[in-house]
Chains A and B, each alone.
Chain A
Amino acid sequence: EVQLVESGGGLVKPGRSLRLSCTASGFTFGDYAMSWFRQAPGKGLEWVGFIRSKAYGGTTEYAASVKGRFTISRDDSKSIAYLQMNSLKTEDTAVYYCTRAPREVYWGQGTLVTVSS
């Protein structure tokens, strides 16, 4: 059974950093791209970015709203994808989800990041 579990969320002050983890199981992690999405309270869904599998170079793409501040990485030996979030802003407050790409059938339960002073 495919499972994705996000962790690392919490309350953080503006300008600080936070790293989220997405621990995967039930599939060969290294064969898949992994995506991150977010949803601000009471708002719609927003794509954050993704990381391709090593077979496709392991390269990353980001939404304009986070480019230069957020970094996605992966550790295939541990089946974990990471979302490093730097220079956090209040507007980054959201539930963050990881998914297996493409065709996002599998989602984690989400982890809440609150950016507030």
Chain B
Amino acid sequence: DIQMTQSPSSLSASVGDRVTITCQASQDISNYLNWYQQKPGKAPKLLIYDASNLETGVPSRFSGSGSGTDFTFTISSLQPEDIATYYCQQYDNLPPITFGGGTKVEIK
């Protein structure tokens, strides 16, 4: 199974800061990677698909990059409503679909 190593597990940043989360796959997954946002008590929300494509309706301050084994998710200017846990998910060579461990983003 492909393992997804996501870091950091949590971070605290100020409003307006640039926030970066990384995800490393245990093997080449091309660009078969999604990024999700999950707020407490809610279902996950797809933000980025195929590593770098912004889902419809998602603010442009969210972006993703990378291919192969190394991926990056960025919030260019952190907003109070971005407080959530973010997950990467790979869907190459399934089954199984696997997730990173999550990154909890808080406001400093």
Partner of A45, one of B55, B87, B94, B95: B87
For B46, the chain A residues whose CB sits under 8 A away are 103-105
Residue interface bits A96-117, CB-to-B below 8 A is 1, else 0 = 0100001111011110000000
Please tell me which stretch of B14-22, B66-74, B75-83, B97-105 contacts chain A, meaning at least 4 of its Cβ atoms lie within 8 angstroms of it: B97-105
Main secondary structure of the interface of B (DSSP, over half): loop
Question: What sequence of 0s and 1s flags, for each residue 15-56 of chain A, a beta carbon within 8 Å of any chain B beta carbon?
Answer: 000000000000000000001000000001111010000000
Instruction: Report yes or no: B43 in contact with A47, Cβ–Cβ below 8 A.
Output: no
Q: Which of A57-65, A70-78, A85-93 contacts B (4 or more CB under 8 A)?
A: A57-65
26 A-B contacts (beta carbon < 8 Å):
A35-B97, A44-B87, A44-B99, A44-B100, A44-B101, A44-B102, A45-B38, A45-B87, A45-B102, A46-B99, A47-B96, A47-B97, A47-B98, A49-B95, A61-B94, A61-B95, A64-B1, A103-B46, A104-B44, A104-B46, A105-B55, A107-B43, A107-B45, A108-B43, A109-B43, A110-B43
Number of contacting residues on B, CB 8 A? Answer: 22
Contact status A63-B95, CB under 8 Å? yes
Asked if A64 meets B43 with Cβ closer than 8 Å, knowing A44-B101, A45-B89, A105-B55, the reply is no
Does residue B52 face the partner (Cβ distance < 8 Å to A)? no
- Seen from chain B, the residues whose Cβ lies within 8 Å of a Cβ on chain A are 1, 34, 36, 38, 43-46, 49, 55, 87, 89, 91, 94-102
Distance (Å) between the CB of B46 and the closest chain A CB?
Answer: 5
A97 to B91, CA, bound (A): 17
Contacting residues, chain B, for A46 (C-beta < 8 A)? 99
Residue pair A47, B49 in contact (C-beta under 8 Å):
no
Give the CA-CA distance A35 to B99 in the complex, in Å.
14
Structural contact, A62 and B43, CB atoms closer than 8 A = no
* Shortest Cβ distance from B56 into A: residue: A105
